[in-house]
């Protein structure tokens, strides 16, 4: 077995919290009831809740032990392509934890929460500045919700013109959320194949615009795309769409690559979402909370979700638009996430954000350059914030596939990259180092990759049984998918 | 790579064989190998219409979820129910036990733009 930075330590086993349960044990003690017991009958539970009976200490140990099994950005590099797993500066947390922000009640009238409204207002304005768009809503609470919000705005716009369109065009490199959001918004998603160079072919887009014409509501494009390549025909693509009255939606998931260098508004984008939890360093990885603000050009602004926050004579007020698509989330969105993102943007400043993108792109290209002599690189053109490798060489040498390479990286002490995505690349490993990793850390990851490639080339190891150093070793993913055990009762059977 | 002669193949890696006017549709050995272990298959119901080049179902593997594209237009007359219960049949025997749907073909010209086994072999070699 080859050595990497992964080593063993004393990691404690831990059962499920239900298996820790002892009948009658309590983690709290309430004083005896000294008022008449009154409880509306409809709220009375008829069957005891089957909650684990454990002490506070047992709960603390349980979750602390599980957290020791975990891997996070605070522990090591997380080069998960397409996810922008950058370090989240601690100052974001300090600011979000200020009592005036963390315990504020969302039902406060506008005149009593001017500071909170100012935070949202400023964030929306700054996102407009970064993207060149005209107006923004911070309400959507995830990238995919932003996509749906954007497409609902597009639908409302077309309907206001008496036009009922049916189709949203989505490139085959898109995130899976794009076709899903299109369908949720009531459209049919039509896939556009990208060219052999990894980007959209302008003639293909023009051809589809000719074929479907005014049935096309919008096209969703990610720029740079999920291969880390810039859609260099974007302006002509936007013109082809606008010629048939369609809108250009940009999935802003990869904005980390272009801040301060290119503005979506200059590319002809009509509507886009930002992923604050990616580009603007708010925590993600546990499924959220995220935030997916949506920015639009002025012709789409009347349809933004309510309420809008306006600055009128020095006071922040809320306003409901008549033609709005309505609310997409309760209150003002994931406020704590918005605070962190604003803290990050103000901390960086315009020059800092530009530096972020520059370093993110440099890091990805450095990785690609150094790894290209050990792994197959399907696209030669310069990459932006992420790069894609494949297992083609390792399959030829020793039949070792991407999945095994990814598992082997775990034993080397790294979170694996995104694998088997984008779908257009067979055996893809999509690596996004982000700007927050140092040259030394990048070199460690490169060394880990090369160590694995060497072991495969010299037939020392095929990593069939990796990972070996984790507390739970190689899992049977196929059986887990085919015969999932979803509860303790299932496991007992 | 197993590419039986006598079948017609699509660019999306489905195969189809036609007997009278009934087309049997599945995915190729190359497709199942590329997908890896298949964990879930979704097929249309009997009696539903499928259209040439439109998605008729979904195949999910540990790697990805992919659409299945119909090589022909017509009504689904039979689906492979055992396959839904045992998706691994698609990996072990894509051309026999792993067949997916039988379609009553309206127009045999649907087959004209499909590839022969020789052409499909070349097509795969070009791609990889």
CATH number of the domain enclosing A117: 3.40.640.10
Cα dihedral value B111, B122, A225, A134, nearest 10: -30
d(CA A174, CA A194): 10
B54 touches chain A (CB under 8 A): no
CB pairs under 8 A between A and B: 25
**Sign of the C-alpha dihedral, residues A374, A375, A381, A387?**
negative
Pick the last residue of a domain from A319, A347, A375.
A347
Token digits of residue A34: 């000294």
Flag whether pLDDT at A403 surpasses 60.
Answer: yes
A223 with A270, same domain?
Answer: yes
A173 with A250, same domain?
Answer: yes
pLDDT at A483: 85
Does any domain span residue A85? no
What range does the domain containing B71 cover? 8-106
pLDDT at A12: 87
Contacts with A176 from chain B: Cβ below 8 Å = 65
A129 with A250, same domain?
Answer: yes
CATH number at residue A462: 3.90.1150.10
B118 touches chain A (CB under 8 A): no
A332 with A430, same domain?
Answer: no
Burial of residue A114, with CB atoms counted within 10 A of its CB: 0-12 exposed, 13-18 middle, 19 or more buried: middle
Does any domain span residue A407? yes
Q: How confident is the model at residue A434 (pLDDT cuts 50, 70, 90)?
A: very high
pLDDT at A491: 75
Flag whether pLDDT at A389 surpasses 90.
Answer: yes
A111 with A224, same domain?
Answer: yes
A283 with A137, same domain?
Answer: yes
What range does the domain containing A214 cover? 91-347
Q: How confident is the model at residue A29 (pLDDT cuts 50, 70, 90)?
A: confident
A151 with A273, same domain?
Answer: yes
CATH number at residue B91: 2.40.50.100
The mean per-residue pLDDT over the stretch A32-48 comes to 85
Does any domain span residue B121? no
pLDDT at A70: 87
Other CB atoms within 10 Å distance of the CB of residue B67 = 14
Contact A482 B87 (CB under 8 A): yes
pLDDT tens digits, residue range B102-112?
A: 999 988 889 89
d(CA A246, CA A265): 16
pLDDT at A194: 93
A426 touches chain B (CB under 8 A): yes
Does any domain span residue A82? no
d(CA A276, CA A282): 6
Flag whether pLDDT at A1 surpasses 70.
Answer: no
Q: How many domains does chain B have?
A: 1
d(CA A478, CA A485): 12
A333 with A364, same domain?
Answer: no
Q: How confident is the model at residue A142 (pLDDT cuts 50, 70, 90)?
A: very high
d(CA A291, CA A278): 9
pLDDT at B128: 64
The mean per-residue pLDDT over the stretch A342-370 comes to 97
Pick the last residue of a domain from A347, A377, A396.
A347
Does any domain span residue A77? no
Does any domain span residue A376? yes
Torsions phi, psi for A34 (to 5 deg):
-120, 20
Q: How far is B64 from chain A (nearest CA, A)?
A: 7
Does any domain span residue B64? yes
Contacts with B87 from chain A: Cβ below 8 Å = 482
pLDDT tens digits, residue range A269-326?
A: 999 999 999 999 998 866 678 999 999 999 999 999 999 999 999 999 999 999 999 9
pLDDT at A493: 65
Q: How far is A479 from chain B (nearest CA, A)?
A: 8
pLDDT at A9: 77
Q: How many domains does chain A have?
A: 2
A183 touches chain B (CB under 8 A): no
Q: How far is A396 from chain B (nearest CA, A)?
A: 12
Does any domain span residue B67? yes
The mean per-residue pLDDT over the stretch A234-253 comes to 98
C-alpha distances (whole Å) from B79 to each of A263, B29, B56, B93 are: 50, 19, 12, 16
The mean per-residue pLDDT over the stretch A473-486 comes to 87
pLDDT tens digits, residue range A165-195?
A: 999 999 999 999 999 999 999 999 999 999 9
pLDDT at A271: 98
Q: Strands B14-19, A216-222: parallel, antiparallel or unpaired by DSSP?
A: unpaired
pTM of the model: 0.89
CA-only gyration radius of chain B, Å: 13
- The kind and range of the H/E element at A354 are helix A335-371
Q: How far is A143 from chain B (nearest CA, A)?
A: 21
The mean per-residue pLDDT over the stretch A240-252 comes to 98
Please provide the DSSP assignment of A335-351 as one string: HHHHHHHHHHHHHHHHH
Pick the last residue of a domain from A326, A347, A368.
A347
The mean per-residue pLDDT over the stretch A145-154 comes to 98
Other CB atoms within 10 Å distance of the CB of residue A183 = 13
Q: How far is B35 from chain A (nearest CA, A)?
A: 9
Mutate to test the interface with A, among B30, B31, B34, B36 (most CBs of A within 10 A): B36
Does any domain span residue B55? yes
d(CA A84, CA A434): 6
Does any domain span residue B99? yes
Using a pLDDT cut of 90, give the percent of chain A over it. Answer: 83
Does any domain span residue A29? no
A316 with A419, same domain?
Answer: no
d(CA A341, CA A125): 13
Enumerate residue ranges in chain B where pLDDT < 70.
128
A266 with A388, same domain?
Answer: no
Shortest CA distance to A449 belongs to which of A410, A396, A421, A475? A410
B88 touches chain A (CB under 8 A): yes
A370 with A340, same domain?
Answer: no
d(CA A338, CA B107): 57
Torsions phi, psi for B32 (to 5 deg):
-65, -35
Say if residues A265 and A133 touch (Cβ distance below 8 Å): yes
pLDDT at A287: 65
pLDDT at A284: 84
pLDDT at A40: 82
B58 touches chain A (CB under 8 A): no
- SS3 for A31? coil
Does any domain span residue A246? yes
d(CA B118, CA B6): 10
ipTM: 0.77
pLDDT at A3: 64
């Amino acid at each position: 077995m080859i050595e990497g930075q992964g080593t063993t330590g004393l990691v404690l086993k831990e059962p499920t919290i239900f298996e820790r349960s002892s009948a009658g044990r309590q983690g709290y003690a309430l004083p005896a009831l000294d008022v008449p017991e009154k409880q509306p009958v409809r709220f009375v539970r008829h069957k005891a809740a089957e909650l684990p009976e454990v002490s506070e200490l047992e709960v603390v140990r349980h979750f602390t032990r599980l957290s020791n099994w975990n891997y996070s950005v605070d522990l090591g590099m997380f080069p998960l392509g397409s996810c922008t797993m950058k370090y989240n500066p601690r100052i974001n947390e300090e600011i979000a934890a200020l009592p005036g922000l963390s315990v504020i009640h969302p039902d406060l009238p506008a005149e009593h929460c001017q500071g909170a409204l100012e935070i949202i207002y400023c964030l929306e304005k700054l996102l407009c500045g970064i993207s060149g768009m005209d107006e923004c809503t911070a309400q959507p609470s995830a990238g995919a919700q932003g996509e749906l919000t954007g497409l609902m705005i597009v639908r409302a716009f077309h309907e206001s013109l008496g036009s009922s369109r049916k189709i949203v065009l989505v490139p085959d490199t898109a995130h899976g959320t794009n076709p899903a959001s299109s369908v949720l918004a009531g459209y049919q998603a039509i896939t556009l194949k990208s060219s052999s160079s990894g980007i959209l072919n302008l003639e293909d887009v023009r051809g589809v615009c000719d074929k479907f014409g005014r049935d096309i509501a919008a096209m969703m494009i990610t720029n740079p795309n999920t291969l880390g390549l810039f859609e260099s025909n974007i302006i002509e693509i936007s013109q082809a769409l606008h010629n048939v009255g369609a809108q250009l939606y940009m999935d802003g998931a990869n904005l980390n690559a272009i801040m301060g260098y290119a503005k979506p508004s200059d590319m002809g984008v009509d509507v886009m979402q930002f992923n604050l939890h990616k580009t603007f360093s708010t925590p993600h990885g546990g499924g959220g909370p995220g935030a997916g603000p949506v920015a639009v050009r002025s012709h789409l602004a009347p349809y933004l979700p309510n309420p809008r926050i306006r600055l009128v004579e020095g006071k922040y007020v809320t306003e409901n638009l008549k033609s709005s698509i309505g609310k997409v989330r309760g209150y003002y969105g994931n406020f704590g996430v918005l605070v962190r993102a604003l803290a990050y943007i103000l901390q960086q400043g315009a020059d800092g954000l530009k530096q972020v993108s520059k370093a993110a792109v440099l890091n990805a290209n450095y990785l690609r350059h150094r790894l290209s002599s050990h792994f197959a690189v399907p696209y030669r053109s310069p990459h932006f914030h992420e790069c894609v490798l494949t297992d083609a060489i390792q399959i030829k040498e020793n039949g070792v596939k991407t999945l095994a390479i990814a598992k082997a990286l775990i034993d080397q002490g790294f979170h694996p990259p995104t694998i088997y995505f984008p779908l257009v690349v067979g055996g893809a490993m999509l690596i996004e180092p982000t700007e927050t990793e140092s040259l030394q850390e990048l070199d460690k990851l490169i060394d880990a990759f090369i160590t694995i490639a060497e072991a495969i080339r010299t037939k020392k190891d095929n990593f069939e049984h990796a990972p070996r150093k984790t507390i739970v070793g190689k899992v049977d993913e196929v059986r887990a998918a085919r015969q999932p055990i979803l509860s303790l009762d299932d496991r007992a059977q | 790579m197993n590419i039986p002669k006598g079948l017609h193949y699509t660019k999306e890696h489905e195969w189809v064989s036609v007997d009278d006017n009934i087309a049997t549709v599945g995915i190729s050995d190359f497709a199942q190998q590329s997908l890896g272990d298949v964990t879930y298959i979704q097929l249309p119901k009997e009696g539903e219409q499928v259209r040439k080049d439109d998605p008729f179902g979904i195949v999910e593997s540990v790697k990805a979820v992919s659409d299945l594209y119909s090589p022909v237009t017509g009504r689904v007359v039979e689906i492979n129910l055992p396959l839904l219960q045992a998706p691994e049949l698609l990996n072990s025997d894509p051309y026999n036990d792993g067949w997916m749907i039988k379609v009553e073909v309206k127009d045999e010209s649907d087959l004209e733009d499909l590839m022969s086994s020789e052409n499909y072999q070349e097509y795969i070699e070009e791609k990889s």
